[in-house]
Amino acid sequence: MTLDAIDRRLLAALQRSGRLSNSELSEQVHLSPSACHRRVQRLEADGYIRDYVALLDPRKLGFPTTVFVEITLQGQADEVLDAFERAVARIPDVLECHLMAGAADYLLKVVAENTEDFARIHRQHLARLPGVGQMQSSFALRTVCKTTALPV
């Protein structure tokens, strides 16, 4: 399925506010409510809309510290990569883990209460990850821009 201009307007509106009623959404994209509902259902069925979530404020929940961790593994064998990925997926403080091309093998985005909490996460979880050869952590000082919206 290819996306047309209306599909893109629907996706953009839902990325801004996933709680729009079908009536509000149909008004924003200039469609009848029934046509809007059918299109959204199709976008969901075709996997363009993966899920609906609430985006939480990490500061209000006590996680104002964001740390990016670059990890280089000791080897590149499939079993080493698989073991690392299974283990890192079980760490609740890791929000994202990306296999990288470049100097590091993986880039992790970790949230913590403060530097002491990150030290605990590092000691209890990150330092125990299988296959790790080298690790470098960088603390974010300030978030300049952040979005979950894709450019549709």
- Position 150 scores a pLDDT of 96
Domain boundary assignment for the chain: 5-45, 65-139
Residue 1 pLDDT exceeds 90: no
Are the beta carbons of 117 and 65 closer than 8 angstroms?
yes
Computed on alpha carbons and rounded to an integer, the radius of gyration of the chain in Å comes to 20
- Position 29 scores a pLDDT of 97
- Position 70 scores a pLDDT of 98
- Position 4 scores a pLDDT of 97
Beta-sheet pairing, 65-73 with 132-139: antiparallel
Considering the domain 65-139 in this protein, what is its CATH number? 3.30.70.920
% pLDDT > 90, the chain:
99
Residue located via tokens 């740390």: 67
Beta-carbon contacts of residue 56 (< 8 Å; ≥ 6 apart): none
The answer to whether 5-45 and 65-139 have equal CATH topology is no
- Position 94 scores a pLDDT of 98
Residue 73 pLDDT exceeds 90: yes
Task: Express each pLDDT in 24-65 by its tens digit.
Answer: 999 999 999 999 999 999 999 999 999 999 999 999 999 999
CATH 3.30.300.30 fits 5-45, yes or no: no
- Position 141 scores a pLDDT of 97
Beta-sheet pairing, 94-99 with 65-73: unpaired
Structure tokens at 134: 């080298």
Task: Express each pLDDT in 89-138 by its tens digit.
Answer: 999 999 999 999 999 999 999 999 999 999 999 999 999 999 999 999 99
